[in-house]
Structure 1
Amino acid sequence: MSERITPHKLVSIAYTIRDSRGDIVEHSELPISYIHGLNDEQLFPKIERALDGLSVDERAEVHLLASEAFGERDPDLTFTDQIENAPEELRFVGAELDAESDSGEVLHFRVTHINGDEITIDANHPLAGEDVTFVVRVTEVRDPTLEEIVEIGDTVVH
């Protein structure tokens, strides 16, 4: 019999994210591993609760409101400037750049719009403001090794 997901088990999952229209916006068969029940924000809490008690090859489908997932859109994270002020390598829609804020937080910026000589850059998560549905498939459940406990710490292992 396959092990069930309980606190302190190492769990590996594959997932699909669908937007509010049902379109697939992200899919990964590459397992993401975490230690269940640490409450360390490796997974959205509602997803972790839905996985509780499942075993390998079982699935959970979890609907998250924008506020439970990637947050609401923050207009202060979007700005428009003259395109001449942007480096050449960022002068196309879809260009991405990571930059550190004054507080030391790393923000991920995307060019979302170019209109004539103006460029719009957005640091909101691409799914901010969107309700989403995660379809999560359990690929592994087992006791973690000491090395995995140390390695995983506060991060997700890929």
Structure 2
Amino acid sequence: MSKMVIEDGKFVELIYKVIDKKTKNVLSEVEFPLGYIQGISEVLSPEVTAELVGQEQGDVIELPINCDEIYGPRDESLVFTDHIDNVPKAYRKIGMTVTMENKAGEPKDFIVTRVDENSVTVDGNNPMCGREVVFILQVITVREPTDEEAAAGGPIEDTPAFDMPNARKIH
């Protein structure tokens, strides 16, 4: 019996890592299988999932990606530096995410990229902008989705049922 190949409508599980081509650093790694339905779920960029079509269980794919094609080029107008006294102490830590609003009231996330004794710098660009990376993906499973998965548009998480009478509901 031949192996099932990845095509639209198939349930796929994979693990992957993203490596910076220039520094060879691992930028992110998913070691627990990530499940999705090809062509329906948007767990990875379309540029990545399009390259998975035709692959099968056990395949390992190395996929070079220019992140500017996915996230757009770096925009220096999204980088702001302010005097440290104007920035709340909670936001004076590198890596902290700060959500700001534009004039239209739309939220935009910025990441604190620099803190010194006088200033704090935040950057609204996607951290992957300007990078060339390699996705190394390993296909773990390719199969037909269950009826539940097809109805949900992706994997169904098995979560334990907890009886927590004193828990507060979060909306």
Q: Is the TM value for this pair above 0.5? A: yes
**Pair member with larger Rg:** 2
Counterpart of 1:35, as a letter, is I
SS at match of 1:69: helix
- Scaled by the length of structure 2, the TM-score of the pair is 0.77
- In the alignment, structure 1 segments of 5+ residues that lack a partner are none
- What is residue 15 of structure 1 aligned with on the other side? 16
| Alpha carbons of structure 1 residues 102 and 36: separation in structure 2 relative to 1, 3 Å | farther
Structure 1 segments, 4+ long, off by >4 Å, are: 99-106
| Alpha carbons of structure 1 residues 128 and 157: separation in structure 2 relative to 1, 3 Å | farther
SS at match of 1:149: helix
| Alpha carbons of structure 1 residues 142 and 98: separation in structure 2 relative to 1, 3 Å | farther
Q: How many Å apart are 1:73 and its aligned residue? A: 1.2
- What is residue 46 of structure 2 aligned with on the other side? 45
**Aligned partners of 1:104, 1:55: CA distance in 2, in Å?**
45
- In the alignment, structure 2 segments of 5+ residues that lack a partner are 158-171
Stretch deviating more after TM superposition (131-140 or 101-110):
101-110
Q: How many Å apart are 1:19 and its aligned residue? A: 0.8
- What is residue 5 of structure 1 aligned with on the other side? 6
- Scaled by the length of structure 1, the TM-score of the pair is 0.82
Stretch deviating more after TM superposition (45-54 or 3-12):
45-54
Q: Is the 8 A contact 2:47 2:70 kept in 1?
A: no
Q: Is the 8 A contact 1:69 1:131 kept in 2?
A: no
**Aligned partners of 1:55, 1:115: CA distance in 2, in Å?**
50
